[in-house]
Structure 1
Amino acid sequence: MDSLTQIVLGAAVGEAVLGRKVGNKAILYGAIAGTIPDLDTFVGNFFDTITAIEIHRGFTHSIAFSVIFAPIFGWIISKIENFEGVTWKNWSRLMFWGLFTHPLLDAHTTWGTQLFWPFDLRLAYKNIFVIDPLYTLPFLVFLILAMRRKRTDPKRRKYNNLGLIVSSIYLLLVTPALKFYAFQKFETALESQNISYERMDTRPTPLNTILWTANIETQDSFLIGNYSIFDTQPISFHSAPKNYELANPIKENPNLHRLIQISEGWYTFSEENDALYFNDLRFGNLDIEDPDSEFIFSYKLQKEHGELTATEREKEMRDAKNLLPRLWKRMLGN
């Protein structure tokens, strides 16, 4: 999830664990714990693109990281803060839950997390986008209400608990129900159009859980369709050819296989100005209403010093400006 959401979650968890004893300091250190796992994006700057992608949401988003580093961070905080009756074990417990809930939340996004590192298994439930105001804003409001109360005030704990409950209901009940409903709609549409397919993957579009996208794999192409819960017209699908033959000269390259593994097999190739691009389909197109628009994550493949490298295609601000109005219009139904 985005940084603000992880800060809010970490802060609320910190308050739940130690708020009665240390007040807003629990919120502060919980917020810090909620941001620490994403430091892997900074580490990734020192590596090539493919390695940086593999690192992201890897070790720092694992159970192992939380277990190893929570006592270390807890000990450091105990040397900084001096509250009666609060030991390094209390601070370690706060840090553990702040660190651990971060990847638990990220597991619900499309990218997922390697929660069980070092095992090569990424959890990605794909029932919420990385930025979802309906999840974050109510959560933030209740947290602010809690912060304004004294640590001994019963209403402080009540407000914080309400934030955790409301956000959890949305994340764990509402969004999976919407995902299941959308999946059924896509499945019905494929059956009615006599489309045979190998597998299907659904996810919410940016900033909402009203409009959903499906990737459907067929023998020679991927079909992509959108469905809003306000739709009144049948679902239509557009085809994205796999173009796997374009990569024949490098099909045995280990770096290419790393990209394929990262994409979980949801990928196509395309050519532009004599350059070969690897397109990761899991995150959709830049323009929700233009099936021919570029994919959000597309990598230019080229040989450098005898090694295959991947360079992410740069996205411009106009891409986002074009996306949001069209996204809102499509959310309201076809």
Structure 2
Amino acid sequence: MDSLTQIVLGAAVGEAVLGKKVGNKAMLYGAIAGTIPDLDIFVGYFADTVTTIEQHRGFSHSILFSILCAPVFGFLISKIEQKSAATWKDWASLMFWGLFTHPILDVFTTWGTQLFWPFKIRLAFQNIFVIDPLYTLPFLVFLVLAMRRKRTDPKRRKWNNLGLIVSSTYLLLTLVLKAVTYQKFKQNLEEQQIAYTEIATRPTPFNSLLWTANVDTQDAYLIGDYSFFDSKPIAFRSYPKNHELLGSLREKDKIKRMINIAEGWFTISNDKEQLYFNDLRFGLISLDPEETQFVFSYKILLEKGAVTMEETEKFDTEGQKLLSELWKRILGN
């Protein structure tokens, strides 16, 4: 999830664990704990594109990281807060839950997380977008209400618990919505007599009312959108796989790794003799039926027999275009 959401979750967890003893400092250190796993973004300054993608939400988002680092961070905080009523074990407990709940929340997103690192298992339930105001804003409001109360005030714990309950309930609701939309996509494919081998669904940005499906067919991937306000059948757009364009490049290490990262959901495009690797899991940059540009697209560069990948540049206007189209599409076709 986005940084603000992880900060809010970390602060709420910190309050639940240690708020009665240390008040707002529990929220402060919980928020810090909720931020730490995402510091893996700095890997990008020292590694190539493929390695950076592989490491994102890797070790720092694992159970192992939480177990190993919580006692260390807890010890450091106990030295900083020597006058506090909390013990080293209290701080270690707070840090563990702050660190651990971060990847648990990320499991529900499209990117997922390597919770069981070093085992190469990436869990991704794909039922909530990385930024969802309906999850974050009510959670934030309850947290602020709790923060304004004294640590001994029973209402402080009540507000904080309400925030955790409401946010968790919404998260579970999106799983139900995902199941409902999956059946809608499946039903439409059957009614349109489209043969397929696999369907992957996910919510569109910032909401849980409009969903997208990637559909695997023999030579192409189909992409369709469904809103809970739709009154017409789902229209599926076809995107050729073009996997054969890779030729011998498919045996190159970085290409194999990218295919593994994309979990097989990728197309290859050729623009003026330049090959691009398109990761389908995050969709297109707009909802325009004629759109062909994917959110995550990588140039395949070959120099002296070695393959390198370079992410294509994104522009602010693309995000603005998507937002303007998004709200119209949510209202139904």
- TM-score under structure 2 normalisation? 0.99
| Deviation for aligned residue 1:291 | 4.1
Structure 1 residue runs without a partner (length 5+):
none
Q: How big is each residue's C-alpha offset from its partner over 1:172-223, in whole Å with a ceiling of 9 and x where there is no partner?
A: 2x10111011001000000001111010000000000000000000110001
* 1:2–1:131 contact (8 Å) kept in structure 2: yes
1:219 corresponds to which residue? 218
Alpha-carbon shift at residue 272 of structure 1 (Å): 1.1
CA offsets 1:257-294 (integer angstroms, 9 cap, x no match): 00000000000000112110000000000011234231
* 8 Å Cα contact 2:237/2:289 also seen in 1: no
Inter-partner Cα distance in structure 2 for 1:219 and 1:249: 21
Q: Distance in 1 between matches of 2:198 and 2:290?
A: 20
Match of 1:120 in 2: 120
2:295 is matched with 296
CA–CA separation in structure 2 for the residues paired with 1:147 and 1:292 = 46
Superposition pairs of residues 99-118 of structure 1, within 5 angstroms? 99-118=99-118
Q: 1:61 maps to which residue?
A: 61
- Residues 1:133 and 2:152 aligned together: no
CA displacement 1:145-192 (0-9 Å, x = unmatched): 0000000000000000000000000002x1011101100100000000
Following TM superposition, the consecutive aligned residue runs of length 4 or more in structure 1 with deviations greater than 4 angstroms are: none
Gaps of 5+ in 2: none
2:46 pairs with 1:46: yes
| Letter aligned with residue 196 of structure 2 | Y
Question: Map of 1:83-98 to 2, 5 A cutoff?
Answer: 83-98=83-98
Counting matched residue pairs gives: 333
| CA deviation string 1:7-36 (max 9, x = no partner) | 000000000000000000000000000000
Deviates more, 1:39-48 or 1:29-38: 39-48
User: 1:208 — aligned with what?
Assistant: 207
CA distance in 1, matches of 2:303, 2:156: 58
Distance (Å, rounded) in 2 between the aligned partners of 1:266 and 1:89: 45
Give TM-score scaled by structure 1 length. 0.98
SS in 2 for 1:281: strand
Q: Deviations over 1:95-132 (max 9, x none)?
A: 00000000000000000000000000001000000000
SS at the partner of 1:251?
A: helix
Structure 1 residue 83 displacement after superposition: 4.1
Provide the rounded CA distance (Å) in 2 between the counterparts of 1:270 and 1:114.
29
Residue in 2 that maps onto 1:248: 247
- Separation of aligned partners in 2, 1:289 and 1:21: 54
Indicate conservation of the 8 Å contact 1:22/1:83, yes or no.
no
